[in-house]
A and B are shown apart, each in its own frame.
Chain A
């Protein structure tokens, strides 16, 4: 994947994570950690296949090849496992987006890199994309709280825009910009067009930038993004 930071050892990439089953002679602590990662990867795949409500602990265990006892040593219940996987995925997303945003260049360029990183992250694995944005909604309040936390995290990551604090009064540019990125991604994922997300970069960049830069500035950046 071009433009992606190498995998951090702290944050497993659940989208690729696989551990061979059976004996592997790892120390106990490592086994527990790998079991956790295996379960987190399994819950994403199982939820994608069955939907949230139909996914049982037994399904997750079977997919992960992990025993029930180990599961309950690591997670309180099914919901805890699901929300933990959600957290690991969004941590990974945030890390990649932040790495891109804190790179070189003018603010608009860094924003483009960050948006590009996000679009590619979602496009790389439609199951993970659905898991993060859509699949866990039936959990109700706990998922909403999770979603809200992430919304705030990305809002503070976006920061204050090109020239320090933006307009003091409403409408708030940051929240408008973030809503464009998230709603734009949600829209494509909901319609099963996740893999084509990177193509949306010019239009979404425009939508994200308009509240900060106005029509002309955002249009200019869109054209630059179209040119590559």
Chain B
């Protein structure tokens, strides 16, 4: 990846050539978005560790100096990409739920939609379950802080969670692992088949085994009915 000398200069601190040629800031958001999309795709192709700034800028069709105007470094860009993926899945989960439906149904719809989204765009699942964990093995704590309250609010509608014996902290790590395992096998298209397991794991810490099992069975039936997208002959 050869970088024109002009851009290298512009990226240097205090580069005075920068000012006159800088476009108006209207494109900043779309540039940022393009860079994040490029990072997402490059990571899926070759992992974060092997992705270079050169790869990112050529994928985003922007200059290196533009990259450094939007992000301090590769790591900062990656953090923004993680954030972008989490927002994507959060939105997906929210939009999948029909207000007024029973909590179990809304929860199932949300999980199914998230799995379908990751099957459709494996780069998202790969980034969150593999690259982000490689870079920071404790990142699941962050996912947990995001997902936990949503599940609790949805399932209990403000009521105090029953204290089941299973650790809610562990559930998300387990879900992450099952998603990672399918992605590791190159079978992201089968992610929707994880609906029963993920339903079980989501409910187990709050509702206990019996209820989690009932909901997981309901989820399996909805999979069989084809109510949920996703092909493949089981994720076994």
Give the residue of B47, B167, B181 whose beta carbon is less than 8 angstroms from that of A147. Answer: B181
Known: A138-B50, A186-B137, A215-B164. 18 other contacts (CB 8 A): A53-B49, A137-B134, A138-B49, A140-B50, A144-B184, A145-B185, A147-B180, A151-B184, A169-B220, A171-B199, A172-B236, A176-B201, A183-B174, A186-B177, A206-B165, A207-B166, A211-B209, A218-B165
A134 within 8 A of B: yes
CB pairs A–B below 8 angstroms (14 shown): A134-B134, A138-B47, A140-B47, A141-B47, A148-B185, A170-B216, A170-B219, A171-B216, A175-B236, A176-B200, A179-B178, A179-B197, A180-B170, A218-B165
Q: Contacts A53-B49, A179-B178: A219 and B220 contacting too (C-beta < 8 A)?
A: no
Q: What DSSP secondary structure best describes chain B's contact surface? A: helix
A190-B137, A207-B167, A219-B165 known; A170-B223 Cβ under 8 A: yes
Residue of A nearest to B171 (CB): A183
Are B200's CB and A171's CB within 8 A?
yes
Taking the nearest CB of chain A, how far is it from the CB of B209, in angstroms?
5
Q: Interface size class for chain B?
A: 35 or more
Q: In this assembly, does B130 line the interface, its C-beta being within 8 Å of a C-beta of chain A?
A: yes
Find chain A residues with CB under 8 A from B201 CB. Answer: 176, 179
Interface string of A132-159 (1 = CB under 8 A from B): 0010011111001101100100000000
Q: Using a CB-CB cutoff of 8 Å, which residues 30-49 of chain A contact chain B?
A: none
Say which residue of B173, B200, B223 sits within 8 Å of A187 (CB atoms). Answer: B173
Q: A183-B174, A183-B176, A210-B209 are in contact. Are A170 and B137 (CB under 8 A)?
A: no
Is B107 an interface residue when CB atoms closer than 8 A count as contact? Answer: no
A184 contacts B by Cβ under 8 Å: yes
- The residue in chain A whose Cβ has the minimal distance to the Cβ of B193 is A170
Q: Write the residues of chain B forming the contact surface with A, with a CB cutoff of 8 angstroms.
A: 46-50, 130-131, 133-134, 137-138, 140, 164-167, 169-170, 173-178, 180-181, 183-185, 195-197, 199-201, 204, 208-210, 213, 216-217, 219-220, 223, 236
| Complex CA–CA separation, A218 to B164 (angstroms) | 12
In the complex, the answer to whether A206 meets B166 with C-beta atoms within 8 Å is yes
Are B209 and A147 in touch, CB under 8 angstroms?
Answer: no
- Closest approach, in angstroms, between the C-beta of A90 and any C-beta of chain B? 14
CB of A116, distance to nearest CB on chain B (Å): 18
Shortest CB–CB separation between residue A60 and chain B, in angstroms? Answer: 18
Q: Which of A144, A184, A206 has the most CB of B within 10 A?
A: A144
Q: How large is the interface on A (under 10, 10 to 19, 20 to 34, 35 or more residues)?
A: 35 or more
Closest 4 CB pairs of A and B: A137-B134, A170-B196, A190-B137, A144-B184
* A153 CB, min distance to chain B CBs, angstroms: 12
Contact of A172 with B197 at beta-carbon distance under 8 Å, contacts A147-B184, A179-B177, A183-B177 already known? yes
Q: Roughly how many angstroms separate A188 CA and B122 CA in the complex, as a whole number? A: 28
Q: A215–B176 Cα gap in the complex (Å)?
A: 23
Q: A172 vs B182: C-alpha distance in the bound complex, in angstroms?
A: 15
> Does A203 sit within 8 A of B, measured CB to CB?
yes
Q: Output the least CB separation between A110 and chain B (Å).
A: 22
B236 touches A187 (CB 8 A): no
A203 to B171, CA, bound (A): 13
Which chain A positions have C-beta within 8 A of B208? 215
- A170's nearest neighbour on chain B, judged by CB, is B196
Q: Is the CB of B166 within 8 A of A210?
A: yes
Q: A226 to nearest B CB, angstroms?
A: 12
Q: Within 8 Å of chain B (Cβ to Cβ): is A191?
A: yes
